[in-house]
Amino acid sequence: MDRVVLRIPFQCRPALILLVTVTLASLLVAASAQAQQLAPPEESASPPRVYYYDPMRGTTALRETLEWSIAAGLYVVDGFVLDNMDPWPSKPLLPTKQKTWGPEEDRESAVPSKSFYIGGVTLWAAVALLPNDRGWLNHASYRHAKGFLETSLVATPLLTTLAKLSTGKKRPYYDQVEREGGPLDANDRMSFWSGHASTAFSQATYFNWFLLNNVATNEARHLLWKVPAILSTFGLASYVAYTRLDDHRHDVLDVTVGSAVGAGVSTLIYGMHENWFGEFYDDPADGDTAVAAPTTIVLPTGRGATLIHRF
């Protein structure tokens, strides 16, 4: 049975503990602040305009079935087809600065996959469960929880796998292991770009966009805890990218491009779910009171028609 070692440099431990503590504390403050914001407002002389909207526009059964089916299909293609392929070029298309690996017992990943997955699930749960500017466990919670999964499980990993297969770049330890006669496989020529860095930054970016735009307001009193939460989340993602360098799994180019791609893909998908690129969803404007739109139904009867108006 393989032994999983969590190897964190001693000088990094205080900073890592601080980042985790700040992130968890900020999540608790976010929930508290949003709950206060959602409290019934005091009566005023000029109530806000009432905006009638259709909360189900953009989430028809056909569209949701199609979207989930495409996402599931791409996930299967990436995880069960592309991941089992060898790099497409016979020779690496990008050079790698080779490094010398230490003893075999020190070659474990500093961030085990289990810890990596726990971090992703935690951020996804925060997006799904934190109260947002429309309430709690509502349509916005659903579509952004879905967007987080589309980002971290489908779009970013798929692009990463395609890049790895297309370039066939050696990992920094490749030449040393080859000289030692050690085992090498297709994964050892899939260095560009870093999947850990791209996934970590895609998750951190999506969560931070959601925290900034959908949780509480951006008044100074809320930015006092939002900014530390955003910095700590990006700090944890940066730590993951750094460990890939320290483990000699990747070079600077791999983690830099991977981080940028992850952040970019996440921003695009978040923007799609926020109507940045078109009216995908029906949302009220800032400052308006959102209520379900009234519905008028006309039912034919034997002597005419019955008019039913639902508020």
Q: What is the DSSP string of 185-199?
A: -GGGG--SS-HHHHH
Per-residue pLDDT, 254: 96
In tens, the pLDDT along 133-177 reads 878 888 889 999 999 999 999 999 999 999 999 999 999 989 988
In the predicted model, what is the mean pLDDT of residues 262-277? Answer: 93
Dihedral angle computed from the Cα positions of residues 268, 271, 272 and 277, in that order, rounded to the nearest 10 degrees: -100
Per-residue pLDDT, 215: 92
Per-residue pLDDT, 281: 61
Per-residue pLDDT, 99: 84
In the predicted model, what is the mean pLDDT of residues 100-117? Answer: 74
Beta bridge pairs of residue 297: 308
Instruction: Specify the 3-state DSSP secondary structure of 24.
Output: helix
Instruction: Say which amino acid occupies 112.
Output: P
| Distance from the first to the final alpha carbon of the chain | 62
Structure tokens at 29: 């403050």
In the predicted model, what is the mean pLDDT of residues 114-137? Answer: 90
In tens, the pLDDT along 55-64 reads 445 557 788 8
The domain limits of the chain are 10-40+60-280
Lowest mean pLDDT across 14-28, 186-200, 252-266: 14-28
Per-residue pLDDT, 304: 52
- Structure pTM? 0.74
In tens, the pLDDT along 17-47 reads 555 555 555 555 555 555 554 445 455 444 5
Question: Is residue 86's pLDDT more than 80?
Answer: yes
Positive or negative, the CA dihedral 10, 15, 20, 24 is positive
In the predicted model, what is the mean pLDDT of residues 186-205? Answer: 95
Per-residue pLDDT, 151: 96
Question: Is residue 48's pLDDT more than 60?
Answer: no
Question: Is residue 3's pLDDT more than 80?
Answer: no
